[in-house]
Copies of this chain bind each other. A is one copy, B any other.
Amino acid sequence: MKNKITLKELAKLLNVSVSTVSKALHDSPEISPKTVERVKELAKLHKYRPNPVAVNLKSSKSGTIGVIIPNIANTFFANVLSGIEARAQKAGLQVITYISNESLAREQQITEMLTSGFVDGVLIAISEETQRKKEYEHLFNLVDYDIPVVLYDRVNLDLPVDKIGIDDEHSFEDATRLLQTRGIEKIGIATSIHHLGVGKLRITGYRNALKDEKDFYIANSSKPDTLREKTRKLLVEDKVEAILCSDFESTMLVYRMAYENKIKIPDDLKVIGFINGDVARYLTPSISYVEQFPGEIGEEAVELLVDRIENRVAGKPPINKTIRTKLIHMESTGF
């Protein structure tokens, strides 16, 4: 039914000009109350909605923001998106979602699109491949085009834009120290993201807390089989008393391998992971984890972006925000 009614059609029906209708709908003081009322009544009757595309063309805004997500199957990013959507909603912005699947080429393709002015700003978590190859030209290009950019989560990059991440280094430094105060000395770390900025920082945090370099036990690989073998070594041969896991894969792998090798958590092995609470609490035993507050990261990211888009912070140097994580104790630490 109803092909959407336009301002022009409304004007004709009312026998007034298009400008009058437009102004009336915006409650302009120029228009007589009587006219305003007539216009609004008919507009309501016909369910008039201004065509957003036309409005955008006038204002040279798109009313949308873009979000680049490396991997949506990762609950962390899914929850960040949730925060982004909620906050954008309040600001009246539409969220256009792009998934890079950790691919540099795809990320380049996306940023290339975005330079054509589809969006008023972009939130980006850099893909794994991009970080590995240190190929950032497409990101600088976006900045050159004067498109506001905010980096979230994976912020370890020298781009002059606002950033919001978590306290990766502290999270594991604190966790390590906590274990030490409980008399645990032989602590290892498992990671499949040691080549990512956030991964490096988590390792650094763990390392900072060590009393001696010989206490450094690491299982690191982005290849599942290799990580499995290295983790086995840590658990079975080195017999670490506790292990920190820097990401979902390593956490689940450690959990599973303890089971396979009949290592009792938390009696023989304490575990602290980076994992979502909705999974952690159902595990057997439940796994203590670092809560990252992804929803807040998403909301804050949008706030930073909106400030830039609306030029509230024009010319101001880039802002760096850090969300404080929280260690949530479940059964796997046994405290």
Contacts and interface: CB of A to CB of B under 8 A. Distances in A.
A116 interface: yes
A3 B60 CA distance: 12
A313 interface: no
Given A94-B96, A256-B282, A146 B3 contact: yes
A156 to B, nearest CB: 25
A42 interface: no
B49 A53 contact: no
Contact of A53 (B62, B73, B282): B62
Given A52-B117, A284-B259, A72 B78 contact: yes
Contacts of A47: 115
A95 B94 contact: no
A247 B220 CA distance: 33
Secondary structure at the A interface, as helix, strand, loop or mixed, is mixed
Given A57-B53, A99-B85, A256-B284, A79 B73 contact: yes
A86 B117 CA distance: 21
A230 to B, nearest CB: 17
B49 A115 contact: yes
A98 interface: yes
A116 B2 contact: no
Interface in A36-76: 47, 49-54, 56-57, 60, 62, 64, 72-73, 75
Given A95-B97, A144-B1, A256-B284, A118 B52 contact: yes
A1 to B, nearest CB: 5
B252 A49 contact: no
A146 B57 contact: no
A97 B81 contact: yes
Interface string A1-13: 1111000000000
Given A50-B116, A282-B252, A85 B98 contact: yes
A86 B73 contact: no
Interface string A207-230: 000000000000000000000000
A117 B48 CA distance: 11
The 3 A-B residue pairs with the shortest CB-CB distance in the complex, in nearest-first order: A49-B116, A252-B282, A259-B284
